[in-house]
């Protein structure tokens, strides 16, 4: 999915690779009409390097909602891996699990046994905010906050204003404001979705290359824009190059043309995701790293610098001509 420039003779050995615009050398066989939410593609500026920290763009704290509309596309997995990646890059992060009844972010992070208080108990005056924030022992600059405990009832007045209060309280903490507040949005576009997007000023839309996810993603894009969120980037999850070549799956380029959004990352299908989820160990911490883990790390890098990547066309598999093709038949 990335176009890699060949290294010059006098290249810098610390350079991992650069993301550069790519023009296919062959014509496309299918042209898709961009959606009404289409925006001009942003210029690609950053180069991924091991020897420098990404430059933080925008005003802090940056409140990012990670959403999709459709369930099961990888929102919580994306929140966990990008949040840990940001912490590894040296940024302070607070991840908020806004799924009230079916929270799972604590499981993916391996912090389920340490969640003693939630935001509801903070609002009820039963504990302080710093008591409800669970600090990760692996990375002290990463904290988790759950909205409520499973099977608990929310107060009648709970809504977007409660999350706005939360963001304001995090800004005024004595130890300093976090640089990133990641909000794991619940599935659907009902009250939970409206509550989650209320304090956000940018969004990461997670989708998979199938028509049901794309329809929901297009609908969610319109709702985000109506709420005033204009900085929307997408992550295409569970990409399989073999199916794209066999014309059984839409390519990342097709998805980008249909939704008209800047591309933050393309995550390949990886069986290690299931293993890391069951262990409560984020994928980006695996050693040696997997392709999906590296893709999440690169997406986190682009998020820091408000950058995007360029999707390229995957060439289709040549048609088999039969048994005698070896003899020129």
Domain-embedded: residue 203 = yes
pLDDT above 90 for 73: yes
Q: What pLDDT score does 318 carry? A: 54
Average pLDDT (269-292) is: 93
Q: Which positions ≥6 away from 44 have C-beta within 8 Å?
A: 19, 20, 21, 307, 308, 309, 310
Dump pLDDT digits (tens) for 212-267: 999 999 999 999 999 999 999 999 999 999 999 999 999 999 999 999 999 999 99
pLDDT at 75 over 70: yes
Within 10 Å of residue 243's Cβ, how many Cβ atoms? Answer: 14
Question: What does the H/E/C string look like for the chain?
Answer: CCCECCCCCCCCCCEEEEECCCCCCCCCCCCCCCCCCCCCCCCCCCEEECCCCCCCCCCCCEEEEEECCCCCCCHHHHHHHHHHHHHHCCCCEEEEECCCCCCCHHHHHCCHHHCCCCHHHHHCCCCCHHHHCEECCCCCCEEEEECCCCCCCCCCCCCHHHHHHHHHHHHCCCCCCCCEEEEECCCCCCHHHHHHHCCCCEEEEEECCCHHHHHHHHHHHHHHHHCCCCEEEEEEEEECHHHHHCCCCCCHHHHHHHHCCEEEEEEECCCHHHHHHHHCCCHHHCCCCCHHHHHHHHHHHHHHCCCCECCCCCCCCCCCCCHHHHHCC
Note whether 49 and 263 are within 8 A (CB).
Answer: no
**Is 136 inside a domain boundary?**
yes
Checking if the pLDDT of 200 tops 90, the result is: yes
The residue range of the domain holding 143 is 64-314
The pLDDT value recorded for residue 127 is 95
Looking up tokens 């050398």 gives 25
Does any domain span residue 59?
no
pLDDT in tens, 295-319: 999 999 999 999 999 887 665 555 5
Q: Report the CATH number that the domain containing residue 219 is assigned in CATH.
A: 3.40.50.300
**Placement of tokens 């909205």 in the chain:** 147
5 lies in a domain?
A: no
Assigned domain for 305 exists: yes
Domains identified in the chain, total number: 1
Query: What is the average pLDDT score of the chain?
Result: 83
- Model confidence at 156, pLDDT cuts 50, 70, 90, reads low
Inter-residue contact 68 to 188 (CB < 8 Å): no
Residue 137 lies in a domain: yes
**For residue 157, what pLDDT band results from cuts at 50, 70 and 90?**
low
At 31, the pLDDT band (50, 70, 90 cuts) reads very low
Say yes or no to pLDDT of 115 above 70: yes
């Amino acid at each position: 999915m990335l176009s890699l420039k060949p290294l010059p003779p006098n290249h810098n050995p610390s350079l991992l690779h650069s993301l550069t615009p790519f023009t296919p050398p062959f014509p496309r066989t299918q042209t898709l009409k961009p959606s009404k939410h289409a925006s001009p593609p942003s210029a690609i500026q950053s180069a991924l390097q091991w020897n420098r920290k990404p430059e933080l763009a925008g005003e802090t704290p940056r409140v990012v909602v990670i959403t999709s509309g459709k369930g099961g596309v990888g929102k919580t997995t994306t929140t966990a891996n990008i949040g840990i990646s940001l912490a590894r890059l040296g940024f302070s992060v607070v991840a908020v699990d806004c799924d009230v009844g079916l929270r799972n972010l604590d499981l993916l992070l391996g912090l389920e046994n340490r969640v003693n208080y939630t935001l509801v108990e903070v609002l009820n005056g039963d504990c302080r905010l710093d008591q409800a924030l669970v600090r990760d022992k692996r990375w002290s600059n990463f904290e988790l906050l759950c909205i409520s405990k499973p099977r608990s009832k929310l107060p009648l007045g709970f809504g977007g204003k409660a999350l706005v209060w939360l963001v304001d309280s995090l800004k005024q903490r004595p130890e300093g404001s976090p640089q990133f507040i990641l909000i794991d949005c619940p599935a659907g576009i009902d009250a939970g979705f409206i509550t989650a997007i209320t304090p956000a000023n940018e969004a990461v839309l997670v989708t998979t290359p199938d028509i049901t996810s794309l329809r929901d993603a297009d609908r969610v894009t319109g709702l985000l824009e109506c709420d005033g969120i204009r900085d929307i980037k997408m992550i295409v999850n569970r990409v399989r190059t073999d199916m794209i070549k066999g014309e059984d799956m839409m390519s990342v380029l097709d998805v980008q043309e249909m939704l008209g959004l800047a591309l933050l990352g393309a995550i390949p299908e990886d069986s290690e995701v299931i293993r890391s989820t069951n262990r409560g160990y984020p994928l980006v911490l695996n050693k040696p790293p997997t392709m999906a883990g590296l893709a999440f790390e690169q997406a986190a890098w682009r998020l820091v610098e408000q950058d995007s990547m360029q999707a390229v066309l995957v060439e289709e598999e040549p048609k088999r001509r039969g048994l005698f093709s070896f003899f020129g038949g």
